[in-house]
Amino acid sequence: MDEVVRAGAKVSEVFFATHSEYTRDFAAVVKERAAKGGVRINSVHALTNQFEPELFGKGLRAHTDAITTFTRVCEAGEVLGAKYYVFHGATRLKPAVKYVFDYDFIASRVNKICSIAKSHGITLTYENVHWAYFSEPGYFEKLAPLCPDLGATLDIKQAMQSKLDYFDFLKVMGSRLKTVHLCNYTGSGKLVMPHSKEGVFDFKLLFKRLKDAGYDGACLIEVYSSCYSDFSEIKDSFDYLNEIKESL
């Protein structure tokens, strides 16, 4: 959080890394540090494969445990004042296999967790992820009408890793879009910082498309530690993206 403050950011996402962090007490510590730096917490993210796939499992005990963990994350998010929960959901463990989805069943589970999140003042936002069920636009397009309270998170690097155009995801998300994750990548798919000269992503076009769509939510830098060697690069990317946005 200190590096986020030093970069000059006023909005952030909290990515909980493990079960011991899914607590009100831990969230209170993070909230205090964020508040001191004038940072608002927009959204929360959990280490999803610890429990989110079992939210769709049919084993009673595993599903019940997953609901308990999901609820704890929402409780922590409520302490932080987060408005959104970024959700990956179930995974495609065998990517070579063509998955056939029971959308009525999936919707029943999604609506259940949407209700839990809503009780803590949070909107569940389904993120496009190349190794999860929502790896292609059609999945969300079919699921969303069955889930009135469901939002969406657009991740541009995940769209690239799905070998699809992020704009196709943006179109099906429509007014449900609540959060955007930003990263950059090279022509070979290597992930790099947004400001990197190696990167090929057109952020100006993205921001224009978001503006044209009436989107006024958070655009958050989400990168991995392998993308940078010094925290100062986070500020460099923050400044770079702000310059582009202000030029429109």
- Whichever domain contains 89, its CATH number is 3.20.20.150
pLDDT of 95 strictly over 80? no
pLDDT digits (tens, 9 = 90+) for 59-92: 999 999 999 999 999 999 999 999 999 999 999 9
Quote the CA–CA distance of 158 and 163 in Å, as a whole number. 9
Q: What is the rounded CA–CA span in Å between residue 146 and residue 43? A: 23
CA angle 187, 188, 194 (to 5 degrees): 55
Tell me what the mean pLDDT of segment 166-172 comes to.
98
| pLDDT value for 4 | 87
Q: How confident is the model at residue 3 (pLDDT cuts 50, 70, 90)?
A: confident
> Which of 54, 91, 57 has the alpha carbon at shortest distance from 70?
54
On the 0-12 / 13-18 / 19+ scale of CB atoms within 10 A, 94 is exposed
> d(Cα 184, Cα 96) in Å, to the nearest integer?
27
Number of domains forming the structure of the chain: 1
pLDDT of residue 97: 83
Alpha helices in the chain (DSSP H): 2-7, 24-36, 60-80, 103-118, 137-143, 156-161, 166-173, 203-212, 232-246
Position 40 scores a pLDDT of 97
**Domain around 154:** 2-246
State the Cα–Cα distance between residues 204 and 140, nearest whole angstrom: 26
Does the structure show a pLDDT above 90 at 51?
yes
Residue 126 has pLDDT above 90, yes or no: yes
Confidence class for position 98, pLDDT limits 50, 70, 90:
confident
* Angle subtended at Cα 233 by Cα 83 and Cα 239, rounded to the nearest 5 degrees: 65
pLDDT above 90 covers a percentage of the chain that reads: 94
Percent of the chain residues past pLDDT 70, beyond the cut: 100
- The pLDDT of residue 53 is 96
Query: How high is the mean pLDDT of the chain?
Result: 96
Q: Which two tokens stand for residue 6?
A: 């030093």
Q: What are phi and psi of 184, to 5 degrees?
A: -130, 170
